[in-house]
Amino acid sequence: MAKSAGAFRTISEASEEVGAPQHVLRFWETKFDFVTPVKRAGGRRFYRPQDVLVLKAVKRLLHDDGLTIRGVQRLHREQGLKKLVGAEAAALIEDAALDSSPPVDDGALETSALQRLLHDLEQAKARLDAVLSP
């Protein structure tokens, strides 16, 4: 049974979709701060559809366009994510971020900021758990 387009992918599913081995995806995560899958307890990675788009763009830049890791880092730093993934894919990523936001109301900005903070804290906790677990 196929997953829906908006479903999270495991690292093996993302690896297959991107066309790069799992260890390469984990390596890119250490080199590119914009590659940030969701991590759950035990360090399991789950890739959102927008994460897979970013990974495909990184693979294209490294393998097809011949950029180095530093070249991709510089491109991201100087021109942003839109330059990496292309305007069309960047629009999809922005739409996905908007879809996951609560509807705008009086407290929506505060709620959205709190949700982002909670997400960041959960990722930090998962990273700490992974480092501290025996």
- Specify the pTM: 0.65
pLDDT grade for 55, boundaries at 50, 70 and 90: very high
From CA 37, how far away is CA 97, in angstroms rounded?
14
Say what the pLDDT of residue 80 is.
84
Looking at every residue in the chain, the average pLDDT score rounds to 81
CA distances to 5, 30, 44, 106, 114 from 99, rounded to whole Å, are 14, 28, 24, 18, 16
Q: Which parts of the chain fold into alpha helices (H)? A: 11-18, 22-31, 49-59, 69-79, 81-85, 87-99, 108-132
Say what the pLDDT of residue 130 is.
75
- Within a 10 A sphere around the Cβ of 106, how many other Cβ atoms? 7
The closest alpha carbon to 90, from 80, 99, 77, belongs to 80
Identify which has the larger pLDDT, 118 or 96: 118
Looking at residues 28-47, what average pLDDT do you find?
A: 90
3-class SS of residue 65: coil
Say what the pLDDT of residue 103 is.
43
Say what the pLDDT of residue 27 is.
97
**For 3-15, how does the pLDDT look when each residue is reduced to its tens digit (9 = 90+)?**
777 889 999 999 9
Question: Which tokens go with 132?
Answer: 């501290």
pLDDT grade for 101, boundaries at 50, 70 and 90: very low
pLDDT grade for 106, boundaries at 50, 70 and 90: very low
